Structure 1
Amino acid sequence: MQAERILIVEDEPVVALDLRQTLEEMGHQVEGIHSSVPSVLAAIEREQPSMVLMDIHLGGARDGVDAAQEIYQRWGLPVIYLTAFADDRTIERAAATKPFGYLLKPFQNKELAAVIQVAHTRHQTECALAASEARLAIAVEAAELGIWEWESQLDKLQGDERFNRMLGGALCHFHTHLHAFLARVHPDDRATVEQGLNQPGFFSCAFRALRDNGEQATLEMHGQLRPLPGGHREVIGAIRDITERVQMEEQLRQASVVFSTTAEGIMILDEQYRIRSVNPALSRLTEYRESELLGQLPDSLLLGSEARPPSYAAIAASSEGYWSGEVCARRRHGELFPSLQHICAVRDASGKVLQYVHTLADISAMREAERQLAHLAYHDALTGLGNRYLLNDTLESEIARAQRNERIFAVIFLDLDGFKSINDTVGHHVGDRVIQEIARRLTLQIRRQDTAVRLGGDEFVVVCPDLHHAEESLVIAQKLLKAMDEPVQIDTLRYNISVSIGVALYPEDGNNLNALLSAADSAMYEAKRQGKGRYCGYLPTIAARIRERLEIEQGLHAALAENQFELHYQPVVDLKRRCLIGFEALVRWRHPERGMIAPDQFIGIAEESGFIEPLGRWILNTAIAQAAAWQQAGAKGLLMAVNVSARQFNDEQLVDGIVTMLARHGLAARQLEIEVTESTVQEFHRSKRIVDTLRERGIAVALDDFGTGYSSLSLLKHLPINRVKIDRSFVIALPGTARDAGLISAIMQMANSLDLEVTAEGIETPEQAAFLNAVGCPAVQGYLFSRPAPASHFTTEWLCHYRESDSFQVNPAA
């Protein structure tokens, strides 16, 4: 027997306790004993029993019949009456409450057990039936089914409201004869419907029928025939309107034909951007089998590493919801090809993206035709080098780019010496092969970014962009000259060919196309005049520059030995408190003959020659010594910032050398700040190790000229620097436009979020200082407060005053 959780309702305590003991001996659990209607209703709400044993006679205004009726209505619990009342009136009232049992006292335990088991079984059956009916009702409603039945004896076809609505009628029940209904069925489908109605067992069929308004609908009928006495039949079933589904299936068939036969590759992606379906054209274009594509991400298989379309999420988020453009695609074996692609997001009724349709068309033939036409228009047919049209375009674009980036580039003019004699003696066919060999050697010697052009005959031009200094053009000219020294082998004959080369620089030797070509041509003729087989610059400025560079390079060593270098110091000011917080040490070269030489004239040469390392050590030692002297004089806690070059920074002995200098002069490590440029720390792992070591020794590290190099947010995030220094190029325009102000504000917000200190350089006006103070920039330096000056300009009294003062004067040391 199933154990029940039973609630006893009995107002006789002795009877109730005896009944409780009996039930517990049977294995049931008694949830409580109650003697009034309010008490039992509250207990059911609280205890949630599975069955109630109810005495009809209870104290109070309401008896057990009233309680049983409310219990069944509210909770559907089985109630068994255990009572001594057997009169007709009581039994009639009790029966109206649909009890699950009625036992008259006294009764046997077997009778009680039997009644409980029957009540349990009936209750389970009723619950299952109710659940089944609920599920059926939900299923019918969700499936939008109409219910119908037909009886052969009366030839009466009946349907519910939904059945009538499918035929275009009002929301009421449908009644007609079978022949009238069949008259509405399409003639081609009537036999199918009649066959289903007379078919034993279950049947299903679809047919076309006319609605009341004359429109044609497609209906799907399901039913089951049941034999009746007397040879009659009854069919009960359901019907569904599938008109829209049939129309959609027809559209899908049409779309399937297009999908399968179009020349464009098509793939359908799910909301996770994985390929769920592809058409045959996509497999042909990409050489992937369908099985290799399904479930994959298109980016990992089909798209090249160059320009890619926007992400699927970005396309879905756009107002248009689609994107079209040209993208480099990849075939199965790695071959790249240009493709025109279209991506569209497919949404449901709520606007949620369900799928993406991604089409791909191969435009290789079109691009190849364009390439060939462009090549013919801009290239020399004999050598494959560029022609005069390409030269003009290249020079115009390089002039514009050089103006924009303030860079220099070179135009190198080459002319073969004595080539005319080859044409005259052995013929033009040999001369053409010589020209081809010269073009081949030229191509091998130039840099990837250089452009080689054949002007015609034996004249060539090379455009060399992105030069750091003029001397690079001469290095390239030397390489070209050397490459032409080797004799040219044509069949069994060898021809010694030399070239004369002229070099012109933008912008020194010309600032437009014609001027540059004319300058390079003139320089080439000067090379011929000097004896051929050599190169020559357009003007003596190149030679003068080389001599000046050599003089500076040679003079650096003497300058260090003869104490010609000196440090100037520029104060760093706490902008909010208007007090001195430190200095930046800046090197100067006081040449005995040429006077003061600016750092930009010798620092680059010192770095390239390697002299920057001894010079850098001298700068560090001198700056630390000066900071220690000021500390001992009473100017406590001043910070000394010193620039360190890339070569110094990567020196394994840098940190140990700095620590030794600090110990030698007695300066605390926290008072030294090492400044490095963004380009210095591009090799992240090595830079992080060095910065970590400096920080472990208590030495601060600042990123100088922030924003002018190749700033990386990842670099700022993971490299443990202390400070960024905003370059003066960002400050000079302040307060400027909203763009200028917004840029500085963005830098400040970024620095604050990364817990970085900030110093702004190049403050020259009160307005700049006011703006920086308003955006919360803590430290500044610039001409507004002081120009860089020797240490002697900053007396002990001045240092002590402005270390504590809140009224830093303008240019106090100027």
Structure 2
Amino acid sequence: MSLLKNKRVLVVEDTTIAATYLARELSNMGANVVGLARSEEQALQMVEKTRPELILMDIHLAEGGSGIDAAKVIARNYSVPLIYTTSFSDDSTLSRALETSPYGYVVKPFDAKTIKVTCETALSRFALEQKIASSEKRFRVAAEAAQFGVLELDESGKAFTFKGAKSLKNRFGAGTEMSREDFLGLFPANERQAVVDTLEKRSSLRKTIQFTDQETEGWVDIVFTEVDLKEDNVVIGAVIDVTDKQRQIKKLQLSNVILDQLVEGVAVLDEAFCVIDVNTALLGLLRIEQSALMGTNIFEFGFDQQILNKVHQLKPPKPILREKTMLLRSDGIEFPAFVTFSELESKHEKVQYVVTISDITDLSRAEKKLEALAFTDQLTGAGNRNYLKLILNENVYAGSVKALLFIDIDGFKLVNDSYGHDVGDDLLAECAARIKAVIRQNDTFIRHGGDEFIILVQETSDLAQLSERLLAVFEKQFSINNKTLKIGASIGVAESSPGITPSEMLKHADIAMYEAKKRGKNQVVFFSSQQNESIEYRLFVEQGLYNAIVNQDLYASFQPIVDSEENIVALEALCRWNNIDIGHIHPESFIPIAEETGLINALGLKMLREVCIANVLLREAGMSHIKLHVNVSILQLNSQVLVDQFLAYLKDFDVSPKDIVLEVTETAMHDNSTKRILRELAKSGFGIAIDDFGAGFASVSELTEPYTTMVKLDKSLAPTGDVTNTRNVIAESLIQLCQKLGKTVLLEGIEKEIQADFARQAGCHYMQGFLFAKPMSLTEAMQRITQKEAQAV
């Protein structure tokens, strides 16, 4: 049965003949055409009125209207698939149309078969997207909670599986799994029913529970996040260790109890603030006899004029003044005090105020200790960001800062993702210890956050030598928890100059540090004004990329891979981005930034989703023989959470791993952790391709790995007509070597016939490049496959 059967379809077309033709053909296919709109305004009105399930939208409408503008409004307010119909197929029009993420694109003149295939493909894709909405929500919640522990309730509803946050795994008296009853036992008896209701209703709940870990008291937050799974019984929640937070709360509560129990001195005053009566505690506090205190003005004991003014201003509804101040005892010794002035209602002609005085000497000492803690990073012992802010805002000290060094640890994220936060924390502590050992006594060492450190320098005479000493810190490998780790550091240096504030110096050092990373990492770069433009562009792209992910402005294009007879055998999914401000941005510009910022994980999930949807649509169209290639980075492969989501996605879409080829650059395969994960994925059925082989420091030994099934020779090895045959010899040798090792060989970047002829003669199994096809939408790719197969018949 046609997917169009009884579907409400709105046709937006300013040409009567075309609109009538579309309406007739759609009706013949079983669709219910609910309206014909001629303009942008009519289109929006009819969408609101008829609530269609599919829209065919002409790009250029009557009265100067724009179908693209109408599509943007519809996308913001309604969830309905939209297909563009137009007589324009130029790149500019296509680019603007793709920004609205259409579900299809049909170029006039129409034919019934194309309309049917495009409409059914759009409806099928839309149905898939709606079907997996809850799964996407679960994955997004899981990705956001990846830094914490994650709880999943199994299908029976009787046991929890605990993943991530290794430091928390054994704190519940369990390993990686615990029964539902044991889990509920963590909560107080009067709260367990609320937890049970949450599990059954899949609603949101956050509870703080207390536990004892090796006779040490601790707390964790259990967060159940609402996940609408309907028939699925999985509940995802984050388990967050809040022990330090709760301990601080208890300390503050204890401070309040101590303050409440302090022996307070009390005095009754007349309107001139002279003592009428006192208690014994106040006499001891001020070290004075009662006879000497009676009739004395209380302000003789150190109260300043400011407090006196505030007391005079006491009026309802705030007839009470509370202040911390320094007072004097009768012997002239100063002490910190907490005082309260209360103005009384006129019940006695002489009594006007009651003052209470508490000695808070011990509390002041505690506050100073807490202040020191507030400005110290507990992991490394360095100053923290609060301390940095304090220094930069203190004119006396800020003026003495002559240079600022910004240090970012290279490779730390990979260590953290591979071995966990415990190893990462120990590594940062060791880095800090080494850095502190080589800086000078008057240098100020600060942990800026994460794996970033700052050094404030007051003497620049040996600034270059200091920078080299810091680099040398990372030459020796680190031994952490019986693991040998090799990391580096990118260091940016900014010196003071007239008119430059310390805050601006910090920004300059940050820019220089990014320049060091750009130049290859593990080096020192001094700031220069020329670095500003490149870093500003980088920050612009980074923010734009983040917004593109949030607003779902990224999309997938598919480039065909062909055999020696130019039959399409596979499609490579490529991430594309059209920025509304600067137009098309090449992946070589934003992919490295995505990897640096961690946004590459979100891009990876986006592309995986596209590949899964494409696989289902190809299957339904009878094209299940077409494999799909997708690029994966070393960062994605070293995140166990993302690998788990990768496999879960395939399960939700019922996609077989054998239909997917993972392309990994040869340089990434040098990492042992990546190799381990690739072996596991290969065992699951995925094809593994070495991408860009020959582009960098190619290691032939990687070809011996049994889990790699394909080698993609880099386009730089594709011969051209204006070079010697040296490149041909290298390429031919590599192709023959791969063939002997049983590897499938693909030559990419083919743009000329001479290159295609060479690939065939040298024995390449597959080819890819603009000579055969540029990246295109999935609908266009499917049409191309259909045409090729029809020609072959």
TM-score by length of 2: 0.35
Larger radius of gyration: 1
TM-score by length of 1: 0.34
